């Protein structure tokens, strides 16, 4: 019988701490304080919340591991120089030395272009089942967008679906807002003009995590939506023009929005990278992005890079087009997926009425992780 990859193969006390080797060939030496502050003991961690009760900052800096022995292949018992004795699960220790955990939605990203054609579709009733909702969130992690159908085409019909995930994000516009032509428009979204590819609200320091756009009516001629995978565009730019990619990843710009009661500003580069250099955000908003006053040679490089990125974003080969129908709700990752709108005609009858709401990123990722844990335990 093959051993579980996280089965403990050996343990040893070293001057640096506790050395553990697993059946999958990985080995690691844990610092004594790292272990002690995670010890599953009543005086150290609260058993219900997992929050630490012991003030770890005051643990002795010279703390050491005095003894260790395996308890079968599943755990190791450790004795510390401060007298504490605790048992650690081998699988949990192995997970701790795996790759950096995903703080956002969990799952590998699948980059896409126009050849994607469509995207995953779920009925509202599917999302009411935990397995269905988890599948939806996993697809959202993978592609950055999903379509929910059979959502009541009424003013607050989207709230039932959003409540399955968590609380909506409140902004200066409230919770769920109307997206329809308004004679007193304070934003270009509320006109019938076409909207270039963009992400929503990059001018917020707490930027929108996910956008939910719910269609109540869409009978005007025109008004088709378009979406672009910003991660795929950024990676293509990195491959084809590394200097342009570097310029956009290292030059912060200012995003700004104002109306009679609000003034919002934020600074970030158009391409955001994580600590490992992977793309984690594309902030593109022609309506609100303005470069700072920099020396001409710096701006010349930035503007050339921005032009190249725009050429990719606007290209047909990177764009998936569709027209939302009443009762459909489109969910998209606002750090990744750019969305656009074709202009539409106001004459000839018809109407276009969308309702829009937002989630913070941690609200969505929390729901996915809890569902994964619950279904795995069940």
Query: Is there a single domain that holds both residue 66 and residue 206?
Result: no
Query: Is there a single domain that holds both residue 141 and residue 290?
Result: yes
**Which two three-digit tokens encode residue 63?**
């703390």
Query: Is there a single domain that holds both residue 59 and residue 128?
Result: no
Q: Is residue 109 a part of any domain in this protein?
A: no
Task: Give the SS3 label for residue 87.
Answer: strand
- Inter-residue contact 84 to 36 (CB < 8 Å): yes
Nearest 5°: the CA angle 284, 287, 289 is 55
Task: Give the SS3 label for residue 140.
Answer: helix
Query: 255 is in which domain, residue-wise?
Result: 114-373
Query: Is there a single domain that holds both residue 68 and residue 163?
Result: no
Query: Is there a single domain that holds both residue 218 and residue 308?
Result: yes
State the helix-helix crossing angle for 296-313 and 230-240, rounded to 10 degrees.
120
**What is the CATH classification number for the domain harbouring 254?**
3.60.130.10
Whole-angstrom distance, CA of residue 306 vs CA of residue 284? 10
Query: Is there a single domain that holds both residue 127 and residue 77?
Result: no
Query: Is there a single domain that holds both residue 181 and residue 38?
Result: no
Q: How many CA atoms lie within 13 A of 284 on its CB side?
A: 29
Query: Is there a single domain that holds both residue 85 and residue 138?
Result: no
- Inter-residue contact 298 to 248 (CB < 8 Å): no
- Single pTM value for the model: 0.86
**Which two three-digit tokens encode residue 189?**
């979204």
- Look at the block and give the residue holding tokens 């701006």: 299
Query: Is there a single domain that holds both residue 51 and residue 132?
Result: no
**What is the CATH classification number for the domain harbouring 33?**
3.30.2020.30
- pLDDT of the chain along its 378 residues, tens only? 446 888 999 999 999 999 999 999 999 999 999 999 999 999 999 988 889 999 999 999 999 999 999 999 999 999 999 999 999 999 999 999 986 777 899 999 999 999 998 899 999 999 999 999 999 999 999 999 999 999 999 999 999 999 999 999 998 888 898 877 655 655 566 666 668 999 999 999 988 999 999 999 887 776 788 999 999 999 999 999 999 999 999 999 999 999 889 999 999 999 999 988 999 999 999 989 999 999 999 999 999 999 999 999 999 999 999 999 999 999 999 999 999 988 777 776 667 788 999 999 999 999 999 999 999 887
Q: Which residues contact 271 (CB under 8 A, 6 or more apart)?
A: 234, 237, 245, 248, 249, 279, 281, 282, 283, 309
Query: Is there a single domain that holds both residue 21 and residue 161?
Result: no
Q: Give phi and psi for 322, each to the nearest 5.
A: -165, 170
- Give how many domains the chain has, as a whole number: 2
Query: Is there a single domain that holds both residue 30 and residue 142?
Result: no
The H or E element containing residue 289 is strand 289-290
């Amino acid at each position: 019988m093959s051993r579980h990859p996280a089965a403990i193969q050996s343990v040893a006390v070293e001057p640096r701490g506790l050395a553990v080797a697993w059946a999958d060939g990985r080995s690691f030496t844990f610092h004594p304080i790292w272990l002690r502050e995670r010890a599953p003991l009543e005086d150290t961690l609260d058993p219900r919340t997992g929050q630490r009760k012991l003030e770890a900052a005051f643990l002795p800096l010279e703390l050491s591991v005095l003894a260790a022995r395996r308890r079968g292949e599943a755990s190791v018992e450790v004795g510390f120089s401060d007298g504490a004795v605790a048992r650690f699960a081998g699988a949990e220790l192995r997970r701790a030395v795996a790759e950096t955990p995903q703080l956002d939605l969990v799952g590998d990203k699948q980059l896409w272009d126009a050849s994607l054609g469509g995207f995953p579709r779920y009925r509202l009733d599917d999302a009411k089942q935990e397995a269905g909702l988890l599948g939806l969130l996993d697809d959202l992690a993978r592609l950055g967008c999903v379509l929910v159908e059979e959502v009541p085409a009424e003013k607050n019909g989207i709230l039932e679906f959003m409540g399955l995930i968590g609380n909506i994000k409140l902004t200066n516009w409230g919770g769920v807002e109307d997206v329809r032509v308004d004679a007193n428009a304070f934003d270009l979204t509320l006109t019938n003009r076409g909207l270039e590819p963009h992400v929503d609200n990059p001018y917020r320091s707490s930027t929108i995590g996910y956008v939910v756009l719910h269609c109540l009516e869409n009978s005007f001629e025109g008004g088709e939506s378009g979406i672009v995978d910003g991660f795929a565009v950024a990676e293509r730019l990195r491959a084809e023009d590394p200097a342009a990619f570097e310029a956009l990843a290292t030059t912060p710009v200012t995003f700004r929005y104002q109306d009679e009661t609000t003034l919002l500003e934020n600074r970030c580069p158009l391409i955001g990278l994580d600590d490992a250099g992977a793309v984690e955000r594309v902030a593109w908003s022609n309506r609100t992005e303005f470069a700072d006053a920099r020396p001409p040679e710096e701006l010349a490089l930035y503007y050339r890079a921005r032009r190249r990125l725009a050429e990719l974003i606007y290209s047909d080969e990177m764009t998936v087009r569709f027209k939302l129908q009443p009762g459909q709700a489109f969910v998209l990752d606002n750090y990744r997926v750019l969305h656009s709108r074709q202009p539409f005609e106001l004459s000839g009858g018809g109407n276009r009425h969308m309702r829009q709401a937002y989630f913070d990123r941690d609200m969505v990722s929390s729901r996915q992780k809890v569902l994964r844990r619950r279904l795995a335990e069940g």
